[in-house]
Amino acid sequence: MTTITLESLTKDYPTRRAVDDVSFDIHGGEIFGFVGSNGAGKTTTMRMMLGVTAPTSGRVLLDGAPITAENRSQFGYMPEERGLYPKMHVHDQLVYLARLHGTDRDRAEANATMWEERLSISHYRDDTVEALSLGNQQRVQLASALTHDPTALVLDEPFSGLDPLAVESMSATLRQKADEGLPVLFSSHQLELVEKLCDRVGILSNGSLVACGTIAQLRANAPARTEFGGSASACETVRREAHAAGLQVTEHGDGLLVDGAPEDPRVARLATVALEASGLTRFARYDEPLSLMYRSVVDVSPATPAETEPTPKRRWWKKGGAR
C-alpha cells in the first residue's frame, strides 16, 4: 500500500519560518488527522505535499522514492481556498475536473453521478456552484477530490462549516477510502472528531510537529493522571491526602483527577486511604481526551520568527513517528 513520507520539510517565508523540519509518514489504509492552531503551518505543509509550494528544504517521498508531478496529479486534494469554478454547473464541473486528471469520459460521468448520490448533492447537479450553500459547495469540493479515483486524499479542513449529517457522510467517505487502501490526511480544528475518526494524529505548533502517533501512543506519552470518584467524603480524603503528598488535584465532574499514574505509589496510597475511609468507587488511569493533550503541547505564545532563536520544542515521540 502507498506510503507518503514527509522528510524534514521546512518552509521559510521572508519574515518567518512557517514549517520547521517536519517529518512523518502517512500509510495506505489510515486516516491521519493534522491539527494545530491558526498559523501553525498545516496548510503550508499540505501545499508542499501537493507541490503547490516548494519546500525551502526537505522532500516528499512516495513509497520511498522522490514524489513526481505525475504521482501528485493522482492525489485528491481539497485546498483551503477551495478550487471550484463558481459559474460552472456541479455535474459538468465534476466531470471536467476528473477529465483534467486523465479519467476517461464514461468513468468520469459514472464517478460524478456516484459521488453526487453518495454526498447527497444529486439534487444540485445542474445548479451553478455559486448558487449552492457553503456546506453544499464543500460537498462538491470533496466530490471533485474523488471523481478521478485518487491514490491518496489530502484535505484541508474538509469538515469546517458542515452540518451534522454532512459530517457523518464526510467521515464515512474518508473511512471508506482508507479501507480501500488510500492514505488519507486531513486538517481540522474539531478535536473530538479527529479523536473519533483518525488512526493517527500529528500536532503542529509554530511550524514544528510536537506530537505524532495513535491516540493511545499520545496518551501513553502524555503525563499520566488518575481519576478518583465516589462519595463526597472519599473525594475529600483523596483531595486532602493528595495535597499532603504534594500531588496536583483537579476537579473533574463529580470526581477528581490527580497527577500521576495509578501505579505510582503516592497515587496508589491515596486509593488505599480512601478505601479505608469507604466510598471510593472509581480509581483508574484517566484517558486524556485529545483536546487536553493538545493544550499541553501547543505553544500559545506568538509564532517564532525565523531569524530569532527557536523556542525549545517538546516532542512526545521518537523522530519518524511510530505507527
Ligand X SMILES: Nc1ncnc2c1ncn2[C@@H]1O[C@H](COP(=O)(O)OP(=O)(O)OP(=O)(O)O)[C@@H](O)[C@H]1O
Site residues (CB under 6 A) for ligand X? Answer: 13, 16, 18, 36, 38-44, 80, 303
The SS3 assignment for 218 reads helix
C-alpha distances out from residue 83 to 143, 166, 179, Å: 12, 19, 26
Q: Rounded to 5 degrees, what angle do the CA atoms 58, 63, 65 make?
A: 50
C-beta closer to ligand X: residue 48 or 142: 48
CA–CA separation, 196 and 93 (whole Å): 32
C-beta closer to ligand X: residue 44 or 137: 44
C-beta closer to ligand X: residue 40 or 50: 40
Closest CA to 205 of 98, 312, 287, 130: 312
C-beta closer to ligand X: residue 104 or 307: 307
In the complex, least distance from residue 307 CB atom to ligand X, rounded to whole angstroms: 14
C-beta closer to ligand X: residue 43 or 151: 43
Written as nine digits, the cell of 171 is 467521515
CA–CA separation, 32 and 17 (whole Å): 24
In the complex, least distance from residue 136 CB atom to ligand X, rounded to whole angstroms: 22
C-beta closer to ligand X: residue 41 or 260: 41
Q: Which helix (H) or strand (E) holds 191?
A: helix 191-197
C-alpha distances out from residue 155 to 47, 80, 84, 199, Å: 10, 8, 14, 16
C-alpha distances out from residue 111 to 98, 99, 149, 207, Å: 9, 11, 8, 37
In the complex, least distance from residue 49 CB atom to ligand X, rounded to whole angstroms: 12
In the complex, least distance from residue 158 CB atom to ligand X, rounded to whole angstroms: 13
CA–CA separation, 229 and 146 (whole Å): 48
In the complex, least distance from residue 89 CB atom to ligand X, rounded to whole angstroms: 29
- How many Cα atoms sit within 13 Å of 174 on the Cβ side? 30
In the complex, least distance from residue 47 CB atom to ligand X, rounded to whole angstroms: 8
Angle formed by the axes of helices 134-146 and 90-100, nearest 10°: 30
C-beta closer to ligand X: residue 134 or 284: 134
In the complex, least distance from residue 304 CB atom to ligand X, rounded to whole angstroms: 10
In the complex, least distance from residue 205 CB atom to ligand X, rounded to whole angstroms: 10
C-beta closer to ligand X: residue 38 or 308: 38
